[in-house]
């Protein structure tokens, strides 16, 4: 199976978000017959790249902004597996835009059902190594409207 090309946006509750379709490759499947957990963030990373391309700010242009981003936090909640023969989507949408960081929510969808949700928090850092830096306006504009894909959650869900 081959990887699908990204689609611009798909209607979901609350508006349109970036969507990338994919089919897991054989080597991404574990002994239980499901996509191994680490591959979810790899697909998110690929979808985030597509998200910025469709918004006119491909990663290759970020050096012009004098900054880059570091991943400060990532989390995933799984609801159902994605298997080798499944056709799935990764949805990406801004959930928060701060002064020096932003959060992108993601959701994995198979046959119309959400199989996993999560978020990645990115912190802006200056290209010259001087530390964190404010988000450039071009990046804020590219992020667009905040549309969270995950429900609000309590701070501490685990005993």
Domain 6-143 has CATH 3.10.129.10: yes
Mean pLDDT of the chain: 88
Q: CA–CA separation, 111 vs 40, rounded Å? A: 17
What is the reported pLDDT for 153?
62
What is the reported pLDDT for 151?
75
With bands split at pLDDT 50, 70 and 90, how would you rate the model's confidence at 159? very low
Domain boundaries of the chain, sorted by first residue? 6-143
Lowest mean pLDDT among 42-46, 103-107, 118-122, 144-148: 144-148
Q: What is the pTM of this model?
A: 0.86
């Amino acid at each position: 199976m081959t990887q699908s090309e990204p689609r611009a946006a798909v209607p979901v509750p609350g508006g349109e978000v970036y969507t990338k379709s994919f089919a897991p490759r054989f080597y991404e499947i574990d002994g239980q017959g499901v996509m191994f957990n680490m591959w979810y963030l790899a697909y998110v990373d690929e979808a985030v790249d597509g998200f910025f391309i469709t918004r006119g700010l491909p990663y290759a242009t970020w050096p012009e902004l004098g900054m880059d981003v570091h991943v400060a936090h990532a989390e995933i909640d799984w609801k159902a597996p994605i298997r080798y023969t499944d056709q799935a989507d990764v949805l990406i949408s801004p959930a928060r835009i701060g002064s020096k960081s932003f959060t992108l929510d993601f959701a994995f969808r198979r046959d119309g059902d959400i199989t996993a949700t999560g978020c990645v928090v990115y912190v802006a850092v200056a290209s010259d190594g001087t530390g964190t830096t404010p988000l450039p306006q071009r990046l804020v504009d590219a992020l667009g409207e905040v549309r969270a894909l995950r429900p609000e959650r309590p701070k501490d869900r685990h005993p």
